[in-house]
């Protein structure tokens, strides 16, 4: 897919902006704090209806504004699609080709993006919550049904936790209530677990190959799903359901004591191994960064495999962090098949000579100039 045109209204430090001279590679150049990331973020928000760097939509509205609009025309295999997302402090509304979508999950996936930003290092280094968010965002993008189960699961989890908090010393009616919640929790929970395991299995195939390429064959990357019950390889829904119910009955007393749900996909994690050693514990900063990069590049191939089209790639401030060999590997990987948006503080910090058909945009204080091919 290919973004032909992008307009912003009252989005962060952009009052109004309309750009339409995008190329296959787009370099967004500017000093710090001028609005480069904001531009990539707007594309990310249009794809996923959420920012990659804040959970608070209000922060996306320009200071003093009560709404923001992001619009784009995206060329896809079967024709052009117009996307519009309107954000207000009360909520958001999405339109596809002028038609308002009843559910945001019907809108997510019209534009697919893969973003690689400095904070992605946290996927390897950070807490399990960061890795679960990574899985949820990426799976949700290609399988909107996943988001439905995730939302239902989260709602049930809150209610079940509330019940557990009041449960200490309660009578037999508690067990009946808990059993009802258990069934609902497990019903949606196993769908999430199954999709995550499938995603990890498919991502592994691409990530291993890409990581080997980036490291000149020196490193073997392995991904492993760490479930809070059962075997990592088990993907059969009926088996997972049974295991989940058994685990819930095993931890019941402990859950009542602690007032929280102790097993399920909200407690799962993923581990990354380089040549058999856990990257989070033993990996150098460079190895962890390369692992995150391999995962992101693998995602590009996975999305292509799932939907038959390449997503757009957003590289925020990361090219200059890579050594020239890794930069070249990265550029060669996306060049000619993936439309790419790259931010940098200066053109000299990136290996621009490797880039073909690049459009250059200069950003200063929420104003954008350029778009000429160089
Ligand atoms: N809601 C908002 N309304 C208006 N301006 C905002 C809002 N949120 C952030 N900004 C402004 O946007 C600018 C930061 O933009 P951005 O994060 O895109 O920087 P950048 O050009 O990517 O810089 P760097 O190279 O440092 O990463 C800051 O000047 C900040 O004050």
Give the pLDDT score at 358.
Answer: 83
Give the CA angle between residues 327, 329, 335 to the nearest 5°.
Answer: 95
- Across the beta sheet with 269-274, what order do the strands follow? 221-226, 269-274, 277-278
Residue 125: pLDDT band (50, 70, 90) is very high
Give the rounded distance of the alpha carbon of 287 from its chain centre: 21
Q: Where are the domains of the chain?
A: 1-112+309-373
Share of the chain above pLDDT 90, in %: 75
pTM for the model: 0.90
CB of 246 shorter than 6 A to ligand 1: no
15 lines ligand 1 (CB under 6 A): no
pLDDT at 189: 98
Strands 25-29 and 67-76: unpaired
Ligand 1 pocket residue status of 35, Cβ below 6 Å: yes
Place of tokens 């990331």: 37
The pick from 8, 10, 27, 33 for probing ligand 1's pocket by mutation, whose C-beta has the most ligand atoms within 8 angstroms, reads 33
Determine whether the shortest distance from the Cβ of 317 to ligand 1 is under 6 A: yes
pLDDT surpasses 90 at 166 = no
Looking at residue 364, its pLDDT comes to 96
Selection from 98, 15, 94 nearest residue 47 by Cα: 94
| Spacing, Cα 33 to ligand 1 middle (Å) | 5
Helix or strand holding residue 11 (H, E) = strand 2-11
Backbone angles phi, psi at 76, to 5 degrees: -120, 175
Q: 284-316, pLDDT tens digit by residue?
A: 988 998 899 999 999 999 999 999 999 999 999
Q: Is 189 known to sit in a ligand binding site? A: no
Q: pLDDT digit string (tens) for 320-361? A: 777 777 777 777 777 778 999 999 998 776 766 667 678 999
pLDDT at 173: 78
Counting other chains too, the contacts that 161-170 makes at CB distance below 8 Å and 24 or more residues apart are 161/259, 161/260, 161/261, 164/255, 164/256, 164/258, 164/259, 164/260, 164/261, 165/259, 165/260, 167/256, 167/259, 168/256, 168/257, 168/259
Place 168 in a pLDDT band, splitting at 50, 70 and 90. Answer: low
Q: What is the pLDDT of residues 20-50, one digit of tens each?
A: 989 888 999 999 999 999 999 999 999 999 9
User: By the 8 A CB rule, do 268 and 283 touch?
Assistant: no
| Lowest mean pLDDT, pick from 80-89, 110-119, 313-322 | 313-322
C-alpha to C-alpha distance for 7 and 14, rounded to whole angstroms: 10
Q: Is 78 in the pocket of ligand 1 (CB under 6 A)?
A: no
Instruction: Give the chain's mean pLDDT.
Output: 92
More confident residue, 115 or 327: 115
Whether 237 shows a pLDDT value over 60: the answer reads yes
pLDDT at residue 355, as a whole number: 72
ipTM: 0.98
Alpha helices in the chain (DSSP H): 36-48, 104-107, 121-125, 128-142, 144-165, 173-214, 237-258, 279-282, 285-307, 324-334
Q: Which atom of ligand 1 is nearest to the CA of 60?
A: 1
Report whether residue 10 contacts ligand 1, using a CB cutoff of 6 Å. Answer: no
The tens digit of pLDDT for each residue in 179-190 reads 999 999 999 999
Among residues 235, 178, 356, 211, which one has the least CA distance to residue 288? Answer: 211
pLDDT number for residue 132: 97
Which atom of ligand 1 has the smallest separation from the CA of 59? 1
User: Is residue 345 classed as helix, strand or coil in its secondary structure?
Assistant: coil
Ligand 1 mutation pick, 11, 16, 34, 59, max ligand atoms within 8 A of CB: 34
| Beta pairing, strands 99-100 & 113-116 | unpaired
152 lines ligand 1 (CB under 6 A): no
CA of 14 to the centre of ligand 1 (A): 9
What is the residue with the minimal CA distance to atom 15 of ligand 1? 35
**Residue 35, annotated as binding a ligand:** yes
**How many helices (H) and strands (E) are present in the chain, helices listed first?**
10, 15
Q: Is 227 in the pocket of ligand 1 (CB under 6 A)?
A: no
Check the annotation: does 354 bind a ligand: no
With b meaning 16 or more CB within 10 Å and e meaning fewer, what string describes 99-121?
eebeebbebbbbbbbbbbbeebb
Q: Which of 14-18, 99-103, 316-320 has the lowest mean pLDDT?
A: 316-320
Domain 1-112+309-373: give its CATH code: 3.40.50.300
CA of 34 to the centre of ligand 1 (A): 6
């Amino acid at each position: 897919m290919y973004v032909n045109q992008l307009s912003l209204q009252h989005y962060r430090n952009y009052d109004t902006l309309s750009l339409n001279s995008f190329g296959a590679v787009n370099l967004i150049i500017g000093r710090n704090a001028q609005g480069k990331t904001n531009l990539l973020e707007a594309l990310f928000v249009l794809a996923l209806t959420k920012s990659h760097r804040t959970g608070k939509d209000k922060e996306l509205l320009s200071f003093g504004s009560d709404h923001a609009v992001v619009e784009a025309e995206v060329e896809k295999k079967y024709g052009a699609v117009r996307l519009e997302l309107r954000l207000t402090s009360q909520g958001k509304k999405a339109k596809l080709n002028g038609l308002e979508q009843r559910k945001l999950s019907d809108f997510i996936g019209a534009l697919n993006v893969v973003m690689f930003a400095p904070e992605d290092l946290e996927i390897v280094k950070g807490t399990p919550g960061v890795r679960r968010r990574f899985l949820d965002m990426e799976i949700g993008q290609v399988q909107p049904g996943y988001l439905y189960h995730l939302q239902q699961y989260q709602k049930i989890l809150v209610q079940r936790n509330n019940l557990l908090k009041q449960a200490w010393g309660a009578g037999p009616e508690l067990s009946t209530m808990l059993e009802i919640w258990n069934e609902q929790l497990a019903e949606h929970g196993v769908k999430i677990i199954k999709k995550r395991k499938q995603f990890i299995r498919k991502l592994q195939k691409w990530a291993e190959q890409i990581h080997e390429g980036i490291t000149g064959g020196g490193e073997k990357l392995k991904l492993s799903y760490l479930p809070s019950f059962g075997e990592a390889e088990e993907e059969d829904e009926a088996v997972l359901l049974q295991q989940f119910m058994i685990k819930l009955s095993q931890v019941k007393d402990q859950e009542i004591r602690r007032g929280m749900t102790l097993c399920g996909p909200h407690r799962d994690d993923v581990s990354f191994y380089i040549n058999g050693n856990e990257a989070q514990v033993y990996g150098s900063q460079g190895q962890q960064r390369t692992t995150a990069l391999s995962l992101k590049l693998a995602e590009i191939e996975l999305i292509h495999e799932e939907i038959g089209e390449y997503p757009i790639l957003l590289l925020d401030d990361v090219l200059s962090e890579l050594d020239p060999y890794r930069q070249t590997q990265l550029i060669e990987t996306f060049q000619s098949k993936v439309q790419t948006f790259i931010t940098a503080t200066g053109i000299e910090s990136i290996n621009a000579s490797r880039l073909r058909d690049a459009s250059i945009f200069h950003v200063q204080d929420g104003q954008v100039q350029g778009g000429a091919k160089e």
